[in-house]
Amino acid sequence: MKPGGRDSAGAPLGTIPLPDGSGNYLVRLAGYAYLKTLDTVIEYSRPNLVNLRDCGFFNDYLSRVAHVAPLLFDVQLASGYRDIAVLSLIYDLAQPRRKRFYEVALGAGMPIGNVRNVFDKQGLCRLYDRTRILVNLRQTDHHDTLEELRVLPALLGGVVVVSEDVPLRKTIPYYRSIVWTDYAGLVDTVRDVHRDYERYHRRLFGDGAFTAVVAEMVESNRANVDAAVRRMLCL
């Protein structure tokens, strides 16, 4: 989180530099007092864990954490027939930066749909099966963590994801399978991907690298859960 973000009071200063070089990100851990009472906490964001580890303030919490990537579906990459050209999952268009992007995209003639109220696994899987491009953008100017619960399941369904860039991007195992850009470049980048979709799909998924990374994440999830269970059982 950048300094000045909501609920940032009391968050310690971390070691990860801000993009503009004006300082470092804060390290916010909501519900810290409660989390310390738990035997195990499941965390899906590796950048979050790196940020927590590097700041040095949350070692007692990190000793309880099991990293589990959100592999909600099996890999299904075929580009096939997809009737949703560009998808946004911006639930709350009252958020100013999301509303601004959506209005600019529509004004530029982008064939973008804003899907709401899809919460179950089967519905989400069907939605991604129909989608070519997913646009991922942050809710606020201060919270910069990648929304992996949105992005990774889409990638598993063969969706080309265009996302705002994030700090610690290279700690994400599948970062090479995402099209990165900044907020100002989102509309132009999505337009380019839409224009040349098949080439982007082949580049991101065609060489087997993403499937191999997913296989590694599956094994890592198993090992991390096994280690957490052993720790709880004192084995």
Beta strands in 24-64 (DSSP E): 24-26, 41-43
pLDDT score at 8: 78
Q: Average of pLDDT values for 93-117?
A: 87
pLDDT score at 55: 92
For the chain, the average pLDDT equals 92
Q: Average of pLDDT values for 45-59?
A: 93
Six-digit token string for 153: 């399941």
CB 43 within 8 A of CB 61: no
DSSP 104-163: HHHHTT--EEE-----SHHHHHHHHHTEEEEEE--SSSS-----HHHHHHHHHTTPEEEE
Amino acid at 234: C
Gap between the terminal Cα atoms of the chain: 37
Question: What are 127-174's pLDDT values in tens digits?
Answer: 999 999 999 998 888 889 899 999 999 999 999 999 999 999 999 999
Q: Where are the domains of the chain?
A: 13-71+214-232, 84-209
Pick the CATH number of 84-209 from 2.60.120.620, 1.20.1540.10, 1.10.10.10, 3.40.50.2000: 3.40.50.2000
For residue 93, is pLDDT > 80? no
CA distance 155 to 71: 10
More confident residue, 42 or 93: 42
Six-digit token string for 77: 């990459």
- Would the pTM count as exceeding 0.85? yes
Distances 46 to 111, 192, 232, 234 between C-alpha atoms, Å: 33, 29, 22, 25
Q: How far is C-alpha 116 from the geometric centre of its chain's CA atoms? A: 18
For residue 91, is pLDDT > 80? no
For residue 98, is pLDDT > 90? no
